[in-house]
């Protein structure tokens, strides 16, 4: 049926959700994807956890992958965590009151990200390959996406780091397609686009 | 700080609804208790637990640490055992984040480090 869509110029539309724990590089990846296809970034990146506290969207991104013409709604989700401690923000030079406000917003962001689990068509689970992948949050996110039959691609991010161990991610989630990327440097990003094109 | 650990039997948990299970977990962790559930929470229950936890986070209650060991067995024998009300394997450990520093897990072992 794709050739019919191609002939008539109609593009298949889907929503791509970026899920994962805080600081795994979701916004860096969302920016990389968005800049590649639209020339504009989605959001602000920082080393402070929970920088993204609301779902950030870039809608109607037109892309062509694997000969398919697609329209993608890119959804950069707040990082999902089981705890949000305002004291974690203090070493970054944030005042106590601001840190408490940030924690409040982060908790709301997590609730929002969980609500959106039902509304994405394809999920990228973005993991920091320098960290232990075998955490309950990662398993919970993947388990819930799986239960909803949402296609999942695991992104082993930050492979440009010397500490990266993408094989650990592959071994933890061997039943899924794992794509090793550096969202920061753009390494392997085309493999990711190809994989997205394959599952849509 | 003294560490209090409570074990909840599979039999008790099976009589509870999801809401009752989550209420039990949240009430206990707010009282600085580490809970060991003999029946693991489902993925959906874990999702709901994270969401409900986020609603009650305060300056003194930063959240939870949770980890589950569950049976990967999906074979006919395990399904029949579960259908008959029996238990194959698995458990969930959940504790307050201000007491539990870390839960380390490999597929077969769970280690709880307290502060």
**Hey, what are B2's tokens?**
């003294």
- The pLDDT-based confidence of A120 (bands split at 50, 70, 90) is very high
Out of A87, A111, A135, the one facing B51 most closely (by C-beta) is A111
Q: What is the pLDDT of residues B28-44, one digit of tens each?
A: 999 999 999 999 999 99
Q: Do B57 and A144 touch (CB under 8 A)?
A: no
Out of B68, B97, B107, the one facing A85 most closely (by C-beta) is B97
- Average pLDDT in chain B: 87
pLDDT at A50 over 80: yes
* Chain A: residues touching B (Cβ < 8 Å): 80-87, 100, 103, 107-108, 110-111, 114, 117, 134-137, 139-140, 143-144, 146-147
- Average pLDDT in chain A: 93
What are the backbone angles phi and psi of residue A58, rounded to the nearest 5°? -130, 110
Q: Do B105 and A117 touch (CB under 8 A)?
A: no
**Hey, what are A99's tokens?**
């840190």
Q: Is A7 exposed, middle or buried (0-12, 13-18, 19+ CB in 10 A)?
A: exposed
For A27-42, b/e burial (b = at least 16 CB within 10 A) is bbbbbbbbeebeeebb
Can you tell me the mean pLDDT for A7-16?
Answer: 76
Which of A112, A140, A152 is the mutation pick for testing B, counting most B CBs within 10 A?
Answer: A140
Which of B45, B46, B49, B50 is the mutation pick for testing A, counting most A CBs within 10 A?
Answer: B50
pLDDT of residue A3: 52
Task: Compute the distance between CA of residue B79 and CA of residue B81 in angstroms, rounded to an integer.
Answer: 5
CA distance A66 to chain B (A): 34
Q: What is the pLDDT of residues A91-109, one digit of tens each?
A: 999 999 999 999 999 999 9
pLDDT at B13 over 90: yes
pLDDT at A81 over 70: yes
Question: Mean pLDDT lowest for which of A116-120, A161-165, A196-200, B69-73?
Answer: B69-73
Q: Are B4 and B34 in contact (CB under 8 A)?
A: yes
Out of A84, A107, A140, the one facing B43 most closely (by C-beta) is A140
- The pLDDT-based confidence of B79 (bands split at 50, 70, 90) is low
**Residues 6 or more apart in contact with residue A198 via CB below 8 angstroms:** A66
Which residue of chain B is at minimal alpha-carbon distance from A141? B47
Which residue of chain B is at minimal alpha-carbon distance from A139? B43
pLDDT of residue B70: 75
Q: What is the pLDDT of residues B82-101, one digit of tens each?
A: 556 555 578 999 999 999 98
From residue A22, how far is each of A45, A48, A89, B79, B85 by CA, in Å?
A: 11, 9, 13, 36, 38
From chain B, pick out residues whose CB is under 8 angstroms from the CB of A140: 43, 46-47, 50
* Chain B: residues touching A (Cβ < 8 Å): 43-44, 46-47, 50-51, 53-55, 57, 59, 62-68, 97-98, 103, 105-107
Q: Do A111 and B62 touch (CB under 8 A)?
A: no
Q: Are A5 and A11 in contact (CB under 8 A)?
A: yes
Out of B59, B97, B107, the one facing A83 most closely (by C-beta) is B97
Enter the ipTM. 0.88
Q: What is the largest CA-CA distance in chain A?
A: 58
Size of the A and B interface in Cβ pairs below 8 Å: 68
């Amino acid at each position: 049926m794709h050739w019919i869509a191609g002939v008539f110029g109609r593009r298949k539309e889907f929503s791509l959700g970026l899920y994962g724990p805080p600081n795994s590089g979701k916004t860096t990846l969302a920016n990389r994807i968005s800049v590649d296809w639209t020339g504009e970034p989605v959001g602000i990146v920082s080393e402070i956890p929970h920088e993204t506290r609301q779902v950030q969207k870039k809608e109607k991104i037109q892309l062509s992958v694997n000969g398919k013409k697609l329209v993608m709604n890119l959804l950069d989700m707040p990082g999902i965590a089981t705890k949000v401690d305002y004291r974690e923000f203090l070493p970054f030079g944030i005042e106590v009151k601001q840190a408490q406000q940030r924690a409040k917003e982060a908790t709301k962001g997590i609730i929002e990200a969980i609500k959106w689990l039902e509304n994405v068509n394809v999920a990228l689970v973005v993991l920091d390959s320098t960290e232990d992948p075998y955490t309950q949050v990662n398993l919970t996110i993947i388990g819930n996406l799986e239960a909803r039959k949402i296609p999942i691609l695991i992104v082993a991010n930050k492979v440009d780091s010397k500490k990266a161990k993408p094989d650990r991610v592959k071994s933890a989630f061997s039943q899924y397609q794992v794509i090793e990327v550096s969202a920061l440097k753009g390494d392997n990003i085309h493999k990711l686009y190809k994989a997205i094109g394959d599952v849509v | 700080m003294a560490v209090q650990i409570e074990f909840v039997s599979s039999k008790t948990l099976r009589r509870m609804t999801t809401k009752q299970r989550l209420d039990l977990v949240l009430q206990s962790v707010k009282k600085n208790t580490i809970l060991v559930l003999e029946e693991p929470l489902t993925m959906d229950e874990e999702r709901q637990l994270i969401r409900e936890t986020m609603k009650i986070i305060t300056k003194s209650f930063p959240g939870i640490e949770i980890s589950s060991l569950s049976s990967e067995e999906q074979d006919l024998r395990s399904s029949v055992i579960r259908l008959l009300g029996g238990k194959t394997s698995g458990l969930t450990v959940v504790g307050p984040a201000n007491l539990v520093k870390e839960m380390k897990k490999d597929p077969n072992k769970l280690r709880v480090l307290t502060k």
